[in-house]
Amino acid sequence: MISTRSLRSLLPLGILLLSSIAAPPTRADGKVRIIQTNSAGDSVSLIDPATNTVVGEIKDIEVNHGAAAAPDGSRVYITNEAESTLDVADAKTLKVTKRIPLSGHPNNLSISRDGRRVYIAIAQAPGAVDVVDTVSQQKVKSIPIEGAGHNTYVTPDGKYVVAGSVAGRSLTVIDSQTEQIAWTMKFAGGVRPMAFEKNPDGSTNRLFVQISDFHGFAVVDFAAHKEISRVTLPDLPGVTKSLNVQGSPSHGIGITPDGKTLWATSKWYHFVAAYSMPDLKPLGLVPVGHHPDWLTFSPDSKTVYVACAGSNLVSAVDVKTMKEVARISVGQVPKRNITAMLQ
């Protein structure tokens, strides 16, 4: 953890420094990869967390947005904004094997726990979640939601698909068995990234939702379908606020796999903030690259990987020491990322 004064002095360096920082390797069990999309490029970067280096690329996907991986590690699914398709890549060859037409322009996506369904947010009016069957590799359904879709998530127990809409300022919860809407919820602003807290039985307890024009996140009781509180990320006195954030000053949130800490990004001030779970006590701030836009974790919860869209890099942050330990150059304007075990 660092002081506000120290953070203030480090932030300019965080914006300008793009070279790698030496770091001890992160242990990886098997072929663990950080899959990093590059929203202004035509390739997807694959990072080995054991070395914090790019070890592969999935090419020829222009304006790639979100990524999901088959549970058996055989395929990677990428939303292709240029073609309005779901692109399927072989995890061994890293070659695109199929492009599946969608009902409209896609944003982010998620995959069912058994890997048989992919759920894609359709980011144009009137708004929908497209459902792709991964066996037939065909779109089999389009579920209407209120407003253009931005992100979809599958809950930790696999029972629900949760879709957020910026334009509709809405959250839609879909029963994954019936593929019918279970309930919806409205917010004062657009619904952006989310994170899920599990109950001991694996069901969803709280939902943490980032909202347009809010520097922080809302806390939602999933069972009650009700917002119960908000957490505001700190401002940094004397630090110039970055205003070109596309209406989303905090975009990127997640909980470590061990459930002990929650991390959220600040695009205003180019840091990532940590909070203890379940009490959401502030633990500190870590400066990263410019415009941090998304994050994911190593499976052992030791490292958080932060996609920094304004610096064309991924910042690797040590969870225990709360220090940036590596900067990994990737493609143009990296945003969404996931952690996957590939074949």
Model confidence at 131: pLDDT above 90: yes
Please determine, for residue 137, whether its predicted confidence score (pLDDT) is greater than 60: yes
Tell me the per-residue pLDDT of 86-126, one tens digit each, with 9 for 90 and over. Answer: 999 999 999 999 999 999 999 999 999 999 999 999 999 99
Backbone angles phi, psi at 9, to 5 degrees: -75, -25
Give pLDDT, residue 243.
Answer: 85
Q: For residue 15, what pLDDT band results from cuts at 50, 70 and 90? A: very low
pLDDT of 9 > 90? The answer is no
**What is the per-residue pLDDT for 206?**
98
Query: Kindly report the CA angle at 25 between 68 and 69, in degrees rounded to 5?
Result: 10
What is the biggest distance separating any 2 CA atoms in the chain, rounded to whole angstroms? 56
Q: Contact at 8 Å (CB) between 125 and 148?
A: yes
Q: Hey, which residues does 132 pair with through a beta bridge?
A: 118, 139
- As beta bridge partners, residue 13 has none
C-alpha 121/C-alpha 166 separation (Å) is 11
β partners of residue 231: 217
Q: What is the pLDDT of residues 247-265, one digit of tens each?
A: 999 999 999 999 999 999 9
Query: Is residue 24 pLDDT above 80, yes or no?
Result: no
> What confidence category does residue 190 fall into, taking pLDDT thresholds of 50, 70 and 90?
very high
Distance CA 250, CA 218 (A): 11
Strands of 91-215 (E only): list them. Answer: 96-101, 106-111, 117-122, 128-133, 138-144, 149-154, 160-165, 170-175, 180-186, 191-198, 204-211
Strand partners, 57: 45
Q: Express each pLDDT in 192-207 by its tens digit.
A: 999 999 999 999 999 9
- At 90, the amino acid letter reads D
Whether the per-residue pLDDT at 6 is higher than 60: the answer is no
- What pLDDT does 244 receive? 86
Task: Give the residue-averaged pLDDT of 179-187.
Answer: 98
DSSP string, 275-342: EETTT--EEEEEE-SSSEEEEEE-TTSSEEEEEETTTTEEEEEETTTTEEEEEEE-SSSEEEEEEEE-
Name the residue among 215, 242, 235 with its Cα closest to residue 12.
Answer: 242
What the chain holds in terms of domains, given with CATH numbers, is: 4-341 (2.130.10.10)
119 and 141 Cβ atoms separated by less than 8 Å: no
Please determine, for residue 51, whether its predicted confidence score (pLDDT) is greater than 90: yes
pLDDT tens-digit readout, 59-85: 999 999 999 999 999 999 999 999 999
Q: Kindly tell me if the per-residue pLDDT of 22 is higher than 90.
A: no
Average pLDDT, the chain: 92
**pLDDT by residue (tens digit) across 113-124?**
999 999 999 999
| Sheet of 253-255, strand order | 253-255, 261-266, 271-276, 282-287
10 Å CB burial of residue 280 (0-12, 13-18, 19+) is middle
- Closest to 68 (Cα-Cα) out of 89, 48, 94: 89
Query: Which residues, in sequence order, are bridge partners of residue 287?
Result: 271
